[in-house]
Amino acid sequence: MGRTMASKIWDDHRVAAPEGEPDLLYVDLHLVHEVTSPQAFESLRLNDRHVRRPELTLATMDHDVPTRGGRAAADEVAERQMSALEENCRRAGIRLFGMGSARQGIVHVIGPELGLTQPGMLIVCGDSHTSTHGAFGALAFGIGTSEVEHVLATQCLRQRRPRAMAVTVEGALPLGVTAKDVALGIIARIGVEGGRGHVIEYRGSTIRGLSMEGRMTVCNMTIEAGARAGMIAPDETTFAYMKGREYAPRPDQWEAAVASWRALATDAGAGFEHEVAIDAGRLEPYVSWGTNPGQSVPVTGSVPSPSTETDERALRYMALEPGTAMESISIDRVFIGSCTNARLEDLRIAASVVRGHNVHPKVRAMVVPGSASVKRQAESEGLDAIFRDAGFEWRDAGCSMCLGMNPDILRPGERCASTSNRNFEGRQGSGGRTHLVSPPMAAAAAIAGHLVDVREFN
Amino acid sequence: MEPFKRTTGVLAPLDRANVDTDQIIPKQFLKRIERSGYGPFLFYDWRRQGGFILDRPEYQGATFLVTGPNFGCGSSREHAAWSLLDAGFRAVIAPSFSDIFKSNGFRSGLLPVELPETAVRQLIDLAVRQPGIEITVDLESSLISLPARGESSGWEADFSVDPFFRECLLNGWDEVALTLRQDADIARYESTRPGWLPISR
């Protein structure tokens, strides 16, 4: 009986396995941001405890940061949270890529782009979208603030071993269908609770064919299916992405590292508690109609008839009638950004749709790069000019309107085509209505002024 | 963390599935750097819309919340558990919880109780039909009970909780202190880590 990749990484990180208790696991990389860490640092101080391994910890500012006007544009409370992070990192000796740093960005964008995220690692962060890092064959999951404190103090976590689920996607992706649509298609199939208690391993030719950016999008959305973590076996695509990055293994360590990464893949005889098969050829560009990410349909479809009280509530909140064609739904705002879809590849594909067009006069559209580095690269390719010329706002890096903790929010009643991950009530601003889409779909919607099938759009 | 042994109090119903942590505590209240004071902002948007069930006088001061499946999905914000605690809740009863919310509950002293859907339905109906009704949640015996009173018959259901977190909650143990005692194990593990693993300096 072989082991799954998740099991191998779990076993490799087990510090202790006390009878009847959760396993004690060692954390290789602890990512920290300004919103979920201040209470953890405060508790360490009150208990006279110190940070065990500051050099295995990295902090950035992303949730609160204004995306234009610099730090001066932050409100007083956000400024207090950013100052607290600076002070906490200074005292503990933790490296911080704060506002203004060339390496600042959304925590799940900078980990991989710096080469800090590597196969076989155990990575945690006080943020549910930590599942993103699983794209490298790492075991990565979100934790609460009490656990952030526990990791700061001990570099370990107590966890029960999750169950294993395999989601296998086979076949070539049809034109216009992206990794985001694969993710939304999977969630539409298994539901927002479908992965609860599990680590999902994504397998199959479609997944292997995705770029690292695409794999990150799929793993990022794993939490929206309720799973603990998502992961993909590392391969040549992974190694090629990592080679030469700032924190990747040095040339003299590279071969040994790659050899150990190759051994991570799930053994042939390993079993999964649940298996789901998806035919990529049947996937289409997806659009969410409701208030959770499982409530989505192909863009060619229409708003479904409600089958539960949850559906009815969602339709009322979204102000939609059953039977309405998705493509007929007008939008007010477009947001291209977030840890799901704000990497260079996402901006390139969105720009390729936008080129030569103008944003619809009644739509306000913005692009928020995932990191300062993504922003620089995009500008060096001239993507910013394409977006600006079309009428998009071109912003600084941060989480921005994915969760609206900074000034970028929807007004009540505004409808937004968004490349982010959650369409919960009020997520992008109280009373705001979110339709989750891929970057090319968001770009096309900005130009058309309504949701539109990017495959038909020119 | 305040220990949880046996508590009696009012049961409040929230008959909704997939209540996400953005609803429990909206993002504009996450900018504070304290662990307390979130109670007034619990379910902020829903309360502001008016007619919210938890605002009815009979449910004021409620100790238990009974709700639908997948409670606490979405964001990892522990502020969700803190806001429920700050508003006076000691336990949430549901058919299922998101993994992170459940962990946050255990670690902050808010007991997540999983019961079968039929039992949860009975409790929701009970709390709706007899507003202000009190139940007892006993972690030591892992039993939820409602004593027979007058014409109404009693009700009880047993539940199971991870034995480790059960001990932590019963005793109010500090998990960090427990792990710090395993320093030798941790140091031994650290000496075996591969040399290529990154350090952030």
- DSSP class per residue in B87-103: TT--EEEES-B-HHHHH
Is B192 within the bounds of a domain? no
- On whether the CB atoms of residues A405 and B27 are closer than 8 A, the answer is yes
One DSSP character per residue, B28-88 reads GGTT---SS--GGGTTHHHHHTS--GGGSGGGTT--EEEE-SSBTBS---THHHHHHHHTT
Tell me what pLDDT residue A201 has. Answer: 98
Q: Calculate the average pLDDT of chain A.
A: 97
Per-residue pLDDT tens digits for A264-296: 999 999 999 999 999 999 999 999 999 999 999
B91: left (phi over 0), alpha (psi -120 to 50) or beta: beta
Alpha-carbon distance of B146 to B152, in angstroms, equals: 10
Residue to substitute from B75, B124, B188, interface A, most A β-carbons within 10 A: B75
3-state SS, chain A, equals CCCCHHHHHHHHCEEECCCCCCEEEECCEEEECCCCCHHHHHHHHHCCCCCCCHHHEEEECCCCCCCCCCHHHCCHHHHHHHHHHHHHHHHHCCEEECCCCCCCECHHHHHHHCCCCCCCCEEEECCHHHHHHHHHCCEEEECCHHHHHHHHHHCEEEECCCEEEEEEEECCCCCCCCHHHHHHHHHHHHCCCCCECEEEEEECHHHHCCCHHHHHHHHHHHHHHCECEEECCCCHHHHHHHCCCCCCCCHHHHHHHHHHHHCCCCCCCCCCCEEEEEEHHHCCCEEECCCCCCCEEECCCECCCCCCHHHHHHHHHHCCCCCCEHHHCECCEEEECCCCCCCHHHHHHHHHHHCCCCCCCCCEEEECCCEHHHHHHHHHCCHHHHHHHHCCEECCCCCHHHCCCCCCCCCCCCEEEECCCCCCCCCCCCCCEEEECCHHHHHHHHHHCECCCCCCCC
pLDDT at B77 over 90: yes
Q: Which residue from A minimizes the CA distance to B20?
A: A424
Is B116 within the bounds of a domain? yes
Residues 6+ apart with CB under 8 A from A87: none
Is B70 within the bounds of a domain? yes
> Taking CB atoms and an 8 Å cutoff, what residues of chain B touch A56?
199-200
CB spacing of B34 vs A149 below 8 angstroms: no
Tell me what pLDDT residue B33 has. Answer: 87
Confidence of residue A457 (pLDDT cuts 50, 70, 90): confident
Is B1 within the bounds of a domain? no
* Neighbouring C-alpha atoms within 13 Å toward the C-beta of A407: 14
Tell me what pLDDT residue A266 has. Answer: 98
pLDDT at A78 over 80: yes
In chain B, the number of structural domains is: 1
Per-residue pLDDT tens digits for B118-137: 999 999 999 999 999 999 99
Percent of the residues in chain A that have a pLDDT greater than 90, as a whole number: 99
Q: Mean per-residue pLDDT for A208-229? A: 98
Confidence of residue A1 (pLDDT cuts 50, 70, 90): confident
Of A224, A169, A226, A166, nearest to A200 (Cα)? A166
Alpha-carbon distance of A9 to A141, in angstroms, equals: 13
Sheet of strand A274-279, all strands in order from the earlier edge strand to the far edge = A229-231, A198-203, A163-170, A274-279
Alpha-carbon distance of B111 to B103, in angstroms, equals: 10
Tell me what pLDDT residue A280 has. Answer: 98
> Taking CB atoms and an 8 Å cutoff, what residues of chain A touch B176?
47, 49, 149-150, 153-154
Tell me what pLDDT residue B150 has. Answer: 76
Tell me what pLDDT residue B26 has. Answer: 95
Residue to substitute from A8, A33, A146, A399, interface B, most B β-carbons within 10 A: A146
pLDDT at B151 over 80: no
Calculate the alpha carbon distances from A424 to A85, A174, A220, A288, A307 in Å: 28, 29, 16, 11, 19
> Taking CB atoms and an 8 Å cutoff, what residues of chain A touch B182?
15-16, 24, 154, 156
Q: Mean per-residue pLDDT for A432-458? A: 96
Parent domain of B133:
6-173
CB spacing of B198 vs A313 below 8 angstroms: no
Q: Mean per-residue pLDDT for A372-378? A: 98
Residue to substitute from A133, A193, A311, A338, interface B, most B β-carbons within 10 A: A193
> Taking CB atoms and an 8 Å cutoff, what residues of chain B touch A310?
16-18
Percent of the residues in chain B that have a pLDDT greater than 90, as a whole number: 93
Q: Mean per-residue pLDDT for B55-78? A: 98
pLDDT at B153 over 80: no
Tell me what pLDDT residue A212 has. Answer: 98
Alpha-carbon distance of A388 to A375, in angstroms, equals: 13
Confidence of residue B147 (pLDDT cuts 50, 70, 90): confident
Question: What is the distance in angstroms between the Cα of B28 and the nearest Cα belonging to chain A?
Answer: 6
pLDDT at A458 over 90: no
Question: What is the distance in angstroms between the Cα of B88 and the nearest Cα belonging to chain A?
Answer: 20
Alpha-carbon distance of A136 to B193, in angstroms, equals: 19
> Taking CB atoms and an 8 Å cutoff, what residues of chain A touch B193?
26, 28
- SS3 call for B6: strand
Is B185 within the bounds of a domain? no
> Taking CB atoms and an 8 Å cutoff, what residues of chain B touch A410?
none
Tell me what pLDDT residue A84 has. Answer: 96
> Taking CB atoms and an 8 Å cutoff, what residues of chain B touch A28?
193, 197-198
Is B181 within the bounds of a domain? no
pLDDT at A108 over 90: yes
Confidence of residue B149 (pLDDT cuts 50, 70, 90): confident
B32 vs A22, A77, A426: nearest CB = A77
Q: B71 - beta bridge partners?
A: B97
- On whether the CB atoms of residues A215 and A200 are closer than 8 A, the answer is no
CB spacing of B182 vs A24 below 8 angstroms: yes
Is B199 within the bounds of a domain? no
How many other C-beta atoms can be found within 10 angstroms of the C-beta atom of residue A219?
30
pLDDT at B152 over 90: no
Q: Calculate the average pLDDT of chain B.
A: 96
Tell me what pLDDT residue A174 has. Answer: 97
Look-up of token digits 């269908």: A177
Alpha-carbon distance of A340 to A418, in angstroms, equals: 10
Q: A122 - beta bridge partners?
A: A139
CB spacing of A154 vs B186 below 8 angstroms: yes
Determine the angle formed by the axes of helices B99-108 and B163-171, rounding to 10 degrees: 30
Q: What is the pTM of this model?
A: 0.98
Tell me what pLDDT residue A194 has. Answer: 98
Residues 6+ apart with CB under 8 A from A261: A118, A119, A120, A137, A234, A238, A239
Q: Mean per-residue pLDDT for A142-150? A: 98
* ipTM score: 0.97
Is B200 within the bounds of a domain? no
Tell me what pLDDT residue B100 has. Answer: 98
A39 vs B17, B27, B35: nearest CB = B35
Alpha-carbon distance of A384 to A366, in angstroms, equals: 11
What does the block give as tokens for A450? 């309504």
The CATH number that applies at residue B37 is 3.20.19.10
Per-residue pLDDT tens digits for A4-47: 999 999 999 999 999 989 999 999 999 999 999 999 999 999 99
